[in-house]
Amino acid sequence: MRARSAFFAGAGSVAILAIGWQAGVGTLLSSLPTSAPVASGPSASAGNATGTGTTGTTSNASSSPSTSATAPMASAPMAMASGAADGTYNGQTINTRYGTIQVNVVIAGGKIADIVAVKLTDQGRESVSISNQAAPMVRQEVLSAQSAKVSNIGGATYTTQGYLRSLQSALDAAGFTG
C-alpha cells in the first residue's frame, strides 16, 4: 500500500470508529437509569403509568431520553412518609436491545413492599436466563435500599438498567420520593 492510501485508510477507519463511539455514547446515556425523576403528568390518577402519557413508550435505546424531561416532579397529593399512597403502580415499558421490560411496584405503608416483573428481556434464550437470574438480585437490592438507585448487576447491564428505569417510572407514578 502506498503511504497516501495507508494514511487515508487509517484516518478513515478512525473516523468510522469515532462515529460509532459517538453513537454509542448516546445509546449508553439513554439506557442508563435516569437520575432526574421521570414524571408522567397527572400520574397518580389510576396509579397506572402505562395508561397515561407514557403509553407505548418508545424510549428505545437509540432514541434518547424522550420521557425524562416532561415535567419536574409534581409530588402526588397523598403524603405519607415517602409521599406514596398504598397500591400497585405500573411502570413504563422499557425497550432494550434484548427486548422489553416492565415491572410493577407494590407500595404498602409508604414503602416499597414488592416488585413484580411483568415482562423481562426475552430476545434470545441467553437473555432470558440472564433476566431470570438478575431480576431477583435487583429486586432484593431495591427492597433493601428502598430506592431504584442501586448498583448495576454485572453481566446483566441492560436488564438491570431497563428494570430500574421501569421501576423508577412506577415509583414516580406512585409519587414515591424515598
Partner 1 sequence: MTTVDATRIKRQHTARLRRGDLLSTVVYFSVAIVLAIFLADGGAAYFTNIRDLATGVGIVTGLIGSDLLLVMLLLAARVPIIDRTFGHDTALAQHRKLGKPVLYLILAHMTLLLIGYGITSGFNPVAEAFNMIATMEDMGLAFIGMALMIVVVVTSLIVVRKKLPYQFWYLVHLLSYGAVLAALPHQFSTGMMFADGTWARYYWMAFYVGTLAAIAIFRVILPVTLSFKHALVVSEVRVEAPGVVSITMTGRRLRELKGKGGQFINWRFWAPKLWWVSHPFSLSAAPDGKSLRITVRDLGDTSHRLLTIKPGTKVSFEGPYGIFSEAARTTTKAVFIGAGVGITPIRAMLEDPLLKANDATVILRGTTAQEVFLWQETYDLCVAKHASLRVLVGKRPRGVATWLSAEAYSSGERLSTLAPDIKHSDVFICGPMQWTDLVVREAKRAGVPDHQIHAERFEF
Residue 33 in contact with residue 145, Cβ under 8 Å? no
Which CB atom, from 93 or from 104, has the smaller least distance to partner 1? 93
Amino acid residing at 115: I
What the block records as the C-alpha cell of 83 is 409521599
Residue 39 in contact with residue 71, Cβ under 8 Å? yes
Cα-based angle 82, 83, 89 (whole degrees, multiple of 5): 95
Interface residue with partner 1 among 52, 97, 141, 178 (CB under 8 A) is 97
Task: Say which residue the cell 434470545 belongs to.
Answer: 124
Amino acid residing at 164: L
Examine residue 125 and tell whether it contacts partner 1 (CB under 8 A).
Answer: yes
Lay out the site mask for partner 1 across 64-93 (x = CB under 8 A, - = otherwise). Answer: ------------------------------
Minimal distance in Å, beta carbon 95 to partner 1? Answer: 10
What the block records as the C-alpha cell of 136 is 431477583
User: Which residues inside 138-167 make contact with partner 1, applying CB under 8 A?
Assistant: 152, 154-157
Which CB atom, from 64 or from 70, has the smaller least distance to partner 1? 64
CA–CA separation, 115 and 43 (whole Å): 19
Residues at the site binding partner 1, with contacts judged by CB under 8 A: 1-2, 5-6, 8-10, 12-14, 16-17, 19-21, 23-25, 27-28, 31, 61, 97-98, 123-130, 133, 152, 154-157
